[in-house]
Amino acid sequence: MAQGGYIEELADGLARDVLEAQDKLGEERLFMEVAEVLAAASTTLEEAFLTAVRVRLAERRARNFLVDRVRQADPGTVTDAPTPPSNEPSA
């Protein structure tokens, strides 16, 4: 595996875990604290992590927007945000 792909994979996995922890803890800026820890060790991983967080947050906002829009058009149509496709292998 190319190093760039490996770093992006690590960063995305960490971003997913941090955002999940953020939601559970109710700490909206936890990802920034994690980014500071990364910056002290690897600016390359820090940058990839922040990119992954931003992309995941943007995707989340877009999904919520879509659900709200569909609910406005037909309130009985959608009850929850669509679940994004999983990149996890099935067990």
pLDDT score, position 91: 34
pLDDT score, position 86: 54
pLDDT score, position 2: 61
| Per-domain boundaries in the chain | 3-73
pLDDT score, position 90: 38
Q: What is the pLDDT of residues 70-84, one digit of tens each?
A: 988 887 775 565 566
Q: Which residue has the tokens 């879509």?
A: 66
What is the residue-wise DSSP string for 14-75?
A: HHHHHHHHHHHHT-TTHHHHHHHHHHHH-HHHHHHHHHHHHHHHHHHHHHHHHHHHHHHH-T
Mean pLDDT, 10 residues at a time, the chain of 91 residues:
83 98 97 98 97 97 93 75 52 34
The predicted model scores a pTM of 0.77
